[in-house]
Chains A and B, each alone.
Chain A
Amino acid sequence: MNLVFKALSDPTRRQILQLLRQKPMNAGELAEHFPIAKSTLSAHFAILREADLVEASKSGTVITYMLKASVLEEALLAFTDAMGFGLPKPMKLKGAKREAR
């Protein structure tokens, strides 16, 4: 369960899971949605696979990812998304004022 919490704590990984809820996608299709390096994305896929939240099937050189989350894990995904876990904290008022100046 720790692996699941670790996987769901990151907003990028949650976004990957949300995309995979709609349909299975290959690594290239998923990469189009994120402005990050492919190596970073691969690390996210590895964490999701380790937590058993996605299933990867290789066909030739293309790896297709498919959602493999239990009902409880999907509920946790919705909850962590709604609560915004792992998102950068909003700036404090004092700092915001300084920025405005």
Chain B
Amino acid sequence: MIDRKTLGILILLVLAMTATAIWRLSQLPDWTQVTFPGPNGARTKHGLILFFIPACTLFMIAVPWAKKWLFTGPHDAIQAHQRSGRLVLLGTGAILAVSQAFMIARSMWLGLSVDAQMLSRGTLIVSAVLVIMRGNSLPKLPWLSARFPAHQLDAWQQARIRRFAGRLSIAYGLAMIAVAATLPVPTMVVAVLATAPAYVAVNAWYGHRLRREPSHLTQA
């Protein structure tokens, strides 16, 4: 869930990131080709790569926005969900903004003294800490009613899925830290991107399993 203030801040970030990407491309003789400094000289990438991070930020906004549409509940419960997600959303937004600034600077062959690998590892570790914090607070969130009956879970089932998701998030966050500390950067990126859908799938499977179980609340 996302509140208006957080949504406004993130949309401003997306606009700023998109504007810098357009500005950078407007300076190039051929907008389809951007060169970055690499360990073995220049590497050429398609110009659209500068829009990758703003697109990621938009996706990040879309997920809690969709959740706001899919679930409903008392005002207090919705506010609790919004408060809980605010830090992660703003923290991730800030990480993405720094990454975009770094990418633009590198496309201009600036900031060469900054160790890109260390920055990537640091970024992943900060993201992992945010995932762990979010995971820890998930079981505390109040029950919300789903708009579609197929997604409906009672309070106990939702509490169980949040506990499961919380533990999984913490395990995932710790794994991200281990990956950031040990693996080479390209492998690290692949490992994180490959396991993220698995994380979503496992949560979805657990929710599906819970829906087939009888409710304890009706028996209590």
Taking a contact as CB atoms under 8 Å apart, the answer to whether A64 and B136 are in contact is no
Seen from chain A, the residues whose Cβ lies within 8 Å of a Cβ on chain B are 23-26, 29, 52, 55, 57, 64, 66-72, 74
* Docked pose: A64 CA to B138 CA in angstroms: 21
CA of A23 to CA of B155 in the docked complex: distance in angstroms?
Answer: 11
Given A24-B217, A26-B220, A29-B220, verify A70-B136 contact (CB < 8 Å). Answer: yes
Q: Is the CB of B217 within 8 A of A64?
A: yes
24 example contacts (A-B, Cβ-Cβ < 8 A) are as follows: A23-B156, A23-B219, A24-B156, A24-B217, A24-B220, A25-B220, A26-B220, A55-B142, A64-B220, A66-B155, A66-B156, A66-B159, A67-B139, A68-B139, A68-B159, A70-B136, A70-B137, A70-B138, A70-B140, A71-B135, A71-B163, A71-B167, A71-B170, A74-B163
At the interface, yes or no: B54 with Cβ under 8 Å from chain A? no
Chain A nearest Cβ from B169, distance in angstroms: 8
Q: Which 3 A-B pairs have the closest CB atoms?
A: A23-B216, A71-B166, A71-B136
User: Considering residues B139, B159, B170, B220, which has the most beta carbons from chain A within 10 angstroms of its beta carbon?
Assistant: B220
A71 / chain B contacts, CB cutoff of 8 Å: 135-136, 138-139, 163, 166-167, 170
Contacts A68-B140, A74-B163 known; 11 new A-B pairs at CB < 8 A: A23-B220, A24-B216, A24-B220, A26-B220, A29-B220, A64-B220, A67-B159, A68-B139, A68-B159, A70-B140, A74-B139
Interface SS majority for chain A: mixed
CA distance A63 to B30 in the complex (A): 69
Please give, as numbers and ranges, the residues of chain B lying within 8 Å of A55 by CB-CB distance: 142
Q: Which residues of A contact B142 (CB under 8 A)?
A: 55
CB distance from B126 to the nearest CB of A (A): 19
Q: How far is the CA of A71 from the CA of B165 in the complex (A)?
A: 10
Contacts of B167 in A (CB 8 A): 71
